Every structure is written in structure tokens, then in C-alpha cells.
Structure 1
Amino acid sequence: MSERLRFGLDQLEAFDAVDRHGSFRAAGEALHRVTSAVSYAVRSLEDAVGFALFDRSGHRAVLTPAGAAFLAEARALLERATALGRYAEQLGRGWEPELALVVDGVLPLGPVMRALNRLSREAVPTRVEVVVEYLGGVHERFAGHRADLMMALDFPGHPDFESAPMEPVTMWLLARSDHPLAALSAVTRADLVQHVELVVTDSASDRHLRPHRLRLGSPHLVRLSDFLSKREAILGGVGFGWLPTHLVADLVARGDLVRLPFDEGGAFTFEPRLVWRRDPHPGPATRLIRRLLDDELSAARAS
């Protein structure tokens, strides 16, 4: 068991005030306490720590070397106590202690990061967790009440949830420029199944949640953990696969990657949504993060 603290914040405040204001009398005036009370607080603090904080041999109290070292730690504790008081006050006004946002890893994260940057400048007490999942794993985490908001590739709607549109995400079917599929004037499913297909592993544990739109059925399959790894694998010539345009537009423009002329369609577009639980009285952190995300997502759509 840790040793019980032998002094209190009021003693530390008196100690700090004497040094800041230059005398016990001035410290008392600043703290709205009589001089004798300040002197008693500092003396009892010295008794508690076991050494002199001030040298009182001259006309004014001067910090001892040990007192100066102790004062630095005391001020850090006072600042932390002040912050703790503000934190308690904000929680008492209804701010949520924690908030979780689950994001599909195929989506551009720029708007999310900009919203979080703005949130950090608001000095709110809420701790925000951003979790990246993939495909059905986004819905699974949100439905399991392990997240308060989600940014999902698709959302069919639900009476218990509300949602707002996000910038569409277009997927291209791609291969490296020297891949055998890139030489074909038209690519069929029969052509695709002869080559390695690259897919991002769906993070859902419930197979019924998993969409099949990003899987074309090749028996030669390489699973990757995220779309950046998938992009590197396609650039490395490992195989073919779907990638979002925001990750590859420059590579296609340079000719490093090529769009495959798939006869069933070499491009399609997701209409992602920002989703939250329907609540007539959402907490202040939920309202704020929704507003910031909406601002950034609207700016992204307009750009």
C-alpha cells in the first residue's frame, strides 16, 4: 500500500504563493488569507517534508536549494490538480468520458484527421478512439456497441440510426503495367481466375456481414491486412485487385498501374455514410465531433 500523503494542496498553494509574490504578507493578500495562516501552512509543510523550504535568516524568505527543487514538483502537482478540477467540472456538465469512431480503412482519412485536429484545440475532456476496420468489420464493431459513430462504405439504413452522406469512393480494378492481364484488350472472369487475386481481409467475424463485391473468385488468392499493403503488392507485380482512386490516381497517371478492361465493369463507386445512433439527447462530445466531421466531409466533397 502506498504511503499516505502528509500534506495538502492548500499548503502547496501557500508555498507557491510566497515564492511568486516575494513575501508571506503578499502571498496572504493574493490568496485572501491572513499572513499568519500562510506562515502556518508553509511551516506545517516543512514539518511534513522534513526540511526547510525557505531560508528566513535575512530580511525576506529565500528558497533553500531543497525548497527550489521541491517547488518545481509542487507546481507540477498544482497544475495537474487544476486540470483535474476542470476535467471533473466538464464531466459534471455531461461531457462523455470516451467516444469511439470506427472507420473503414478504404476511406480517405484526411477529413477524420482534420476533424480530430480541430477537436484537440477545443480542450474537451473526452478521450476519442479511432478504430480502423475493414468491410463488414466496421458494421460488426458498431452494431456491437463498441463504437459511437461509424464511417462505412455502405449503409442500407436502420430506424435506430441516423446517417449523413460522405464523398463517394470509386474503386478501380488494377494491375501493374507489365502484368499479363494488362496486355489484354478485354478481360473476362475466366482470364482473372488464372492469376493471383489480392484482397484485403475482412475484419468481421460474422461471415454473413462480408460483402463479395471486392472479390472476383480467383482460386489463387493472397490476403492482406490493409489497402496500402495491397497497393504495394500490386505495384510489386504479385497480382491484380481493386483499389480506391485516392490511393492510386497518381500511379495510374504515371503508368505504373493500369486499369483492367474488365468486361463486367472495371470500376464501381461506393456511397459511404457517416452513421450514429439515434438519440434525442446526444452528449456534447458527440454533437461536436459530428459537427466537425460534417464540416470536413463537406469540404472534401466540395473540393
Structure 2
Amino acid sequence: MISPITLDALLTLDAIERRHSFAAAAEELFRVPSAISYTVNKLEEDLGVPLFDRSRRKAELTPVGRLVLEQGRQILKATDELTAMARRAADGWEVELRIAIDSVLDCAPFYKLIEEFQHIQPKTEMILTEEVLGGSWDALSDDRCDLVIGASGAPPSSGFSIHSLGHVGFDFAVASGHPLTELPQPIPTSAIQDYPTVIVADSSRHLPARSSGLLDGRSRIIVPTIDHKIDAQCKGLGVGYLPHHRITEELADGRLEILTLDAPRPPSEISVAWPRGNTGKGLKWFVDRLKQMHFDPEHGVIVKAKED
């Protein structure tokens, strides 16, 4: 069933209520007063209820009329927003931009980029998600995001553009006072078998899950993010490798200690990745900015690349 409440009727009701008369509404809408009266009368007839109290000199809405207008104004606002979104999309700007940040990185440095982008294109909705290991590639392959920051390893298939940010270093860390701290270093991997290993679960939904820095511990504690892993190891619940730049505070205040194993974990390369066919202006803006940056493995921040 087609509703008798049209956008034109809502615009008419809105103008009458704001201008307090049919004549003033007609002037605002560039119509003759008879056209305004016809629109209102037709809507009242189709709805079967009066929308205005005509017993008074000024045009005043009835309770039903007030309900229709209040709800109708939300429709008018949504229509305006949809119109603006369509125009932005036609101009190449995304309605929304979905960015997945790998859990190995701290999101804080990227908030500055988002703030800068908002000054340029404030109407594009920003959606940030956190992924782990292969989950970053999975999100990109499954079209759950438009841009990945911090993806590790090689892409699962062709069709992606990649820009390397650098290499993340990992340290084997345990809680201060852990029994392993009493052993001479480098510690053989076999010595950790009596202690649980804290593992961050791969967030992949469709691609095969990846593993990183797994140790031959007798048991495992599986957590969802690097933040949870750091917290668990600070509490002495388990041991494992942690990205060096994420634990500087914990090392400084003595909550964690770094130990050397006889088989240290090599650094992991991280990249920015995006679909080659995506030509959105917002995506291009972020890619261009990220290409001017690199990862500092010591401080864990994204900084301007050094000029030659």
C-alpha cells in the first residue's frame, strides 16, 4: 500500500508549523495559498483525521498532526542526508570507509590521521575494526574492510596493493619474578614447557587461521587481542612473545622482564593493503598519507619517512 504521506506533504506541514500560517508557508515554498490548502486537505482526507485545528485564527496542529510532523521531520532529515550521501558518492567520496588495524599495532597514532581526514571530508563515516594475524587479510578478502593497516605476511591472493611499513620486533617476556628469570640465558625452549603460553587467536572467519610465535608449552591460554595478551602475561598467567613497542611501559615499571631464548623470534614485516580496484577518494587519501610514513620498531609509532 502506498502511503498518502509524501515528502511534499511533510515539507508543507513543516513550513506551515514554522511560519504559523498557510499564507506564509505558501510564500516560503513559492506556491499559491490554494495549493497549500489543497495539499493539507488531501492529506487529511486520505488519512481520515484532521491535522490542523481550524477553530482558531492561527494554524495549529492537532495532536495527530503534531505526531505526523515530528516523525515526518526525521524522514525529511534522513532524506536530506541520503541526498548528500548520493552527491558525495557521485563525486568519488565514500559514504563510509572501513579500516581494519592489526592487533599488533596501537590505534592511537592513526587517530591523528582520522582527525585530519575529518577536516577534509567530515561526512564520510569512519568504521574501525581490530583484526589478528590472518584476520587482517581475511577482512580484506571478505570485503569487511577497505583498508588494512599492519597486515603481516603475504596476501592470500592477487588483487591487492601493498605498501610495507617496516618490521615489528618481538621479545619473549614474562612477569617480573617469574621462575624462568632465575635460569641462565639464553634459555632453551624446552625449559618453558612447564608454563602456559599465551596465544592471540587468529580472527579469520574464512581463510585458514595463521599462527605466530607459538612455543612448545604444555598448555595454552588463548586471548582475543594483544592488549589481553600483555595483561595476562603481566599477571603471570603465562609466557610468550610480545611486540617490543607495545610493552615499553610494562618493562619500565617492572611488570615484565625480557628473556632471551636459544631460538629467538625474527621480526615480522607489516604492511598497508587495499583492493586494487577501489578508486574511492577517501581510500586514496589514507594510502597517500600512509605511504609517507614508516614503523619505528623501537618506539612503535608511525612517523614521517626520512628524506634522502
Q: TM-score range by the shorter chain?
A: 0.7 to 0.9
Match of 2:33 in 1: 35
Q: Secondary structure at the match of 2:152?
A: coil
Q: Secondary structure at the match of 1:301?
A: strand
Q: Deviations over 1:130-174 (max 9, x none)?
A: 443322332344345554322234345897433334375332211
Taking the aligned partners of 2:288 and 2:21, their CA distance within structure 1 comes to 50
Q: Displacement of 1:33 after TM fit?
A: 0.9
Taking the aligned partners of 1:78 and 1:297, their CA distance within structure 2 comes to 45
Taking the aligned partners of 2:42 and 2:193, their CA distance within structure 1 comes to 82
The answer to which of 23-32 and 181-190 deviates more is: 181-190
CA change 1:167–1:36 in 2 (3 A) is farther
Give the conservation status (yes or no) of the 8 Å contact 2:147–2:272: yes
Letter of the aligned partner of 2:197 in structure 1? E
Q: Deviations over 1:54-76 (max 9, x none)?
A: 33334432333443343222222
Taking the aligned partners of 1:292 and 1:53, their CA distance within structure 2 comes to 55
Match of 1:57 in 2: 55
Q: Displacement of 1:181 after TM fit?
A: 0.7
Taking the aligned partners of 2:65 and 2:171, their CA distance within structure 1 comes to 67
How do 1:1-303 and structure 2 match up within 5 A?
3-96=1-94, 99-116=97-114, 122-124=121-123, 129-143=127-141, 146-155=144-153, 160-166=159-165, 168-186=167-185, 187-204=187-204, 210=210, 212=212, 214-265=213-264, 269-279=267-277, 282-291=279-288, 300-302=302-304
Q: Secondary structure at the match of 2:104?
A: coil
Q: Displacement of 1:268 after TM fit?
A: 5.2
Q: Displacement of 1:241 after TM fit?
A: 0.6
Taking the aligned partners of 1:284 and 1:234, their CA distance within structure 2 comes to 42
- What is the aligned residue count? 296
In structure 1, list runs of 5 or more residues that go unmatched: none
Match of 2:298 in 1: none
Q: Displacement of 1:32 after TM fit?
A: 1.0
CA change 1:64–1:196 in 2 (3 A) is closer
Q: Secondary structure at the match of 2:217?
A: coil
Letter of the aligned partner of 1:286 in structure 2? L
Taking the aligned partners of 2:280 and 2:67, their CA distance within structure 1 comes to 43
Taking the aligned partners of 2:116 and 2:304, their CA distance within structure 1 comes to 19
Cα RMSD for the two superposed structures: 3.3
Counting aligned pairs with the same residue, the percent is 28
Taking the aligned partners of 2:200 and 2:141, their CA distance within structure 1 comes to 21
Q: Specify which structure has the higher proportion of helix.
A: 1
Taking the aligned partners of 1:222 and 1:69, their CA distance within structure 2 comes to 55
The answer to which of 156-165 and 175-184 deviates more is: 156-165
Q: Displacement of 1:10 after TM fit?
A: 1.0
CA change 1:45–1:246 in 2 (3 A) is farther
Letter of the aligned partner of 1:197 in structure 2? T
Q: Secondary structure at the match of 2:303?
A: helix
Taking the aligned partners of 1:206 and 1:107, their CA distance within structure 2 comes to 21
Taking the aligned partners of 2:181 and 2:197, their CA distance within structure 1 comes to 14
Taking the aligned partners of 2:53 and 2:219, their CA distance within structure 1 comes to 81
Q: Deviations over 1:210-245 (max 9, x none)?
A: 354x12333443333322222222122222111123
Letter of the aligned partner of 1:241 in structure 2? G
Letter of the aligned partner of 1:101 in structure 2? I
TM-score (structure 2 length as normaliser)? 0.79
Q: Displacement of 1:11 after TM fit?
A: 1.5
TM-score (structure 1 length as normaliser)? 0.80
Q: Displacement of 1:96 after TM fit?
A: 4.7
Q: Displacement of 1:179 after TM fit?
A: 1.0
Taking the aligned partners of 2:180 and 2:40, their CA distance within structure 1 comes to 81
Letter of the aligned partner of 1:236 in structure 2? K
Give the conservation status (yes or no) of the 8 Å contact 1:172–1:268: no
Q: Secondary structure at the match of 2:302?
A: helix
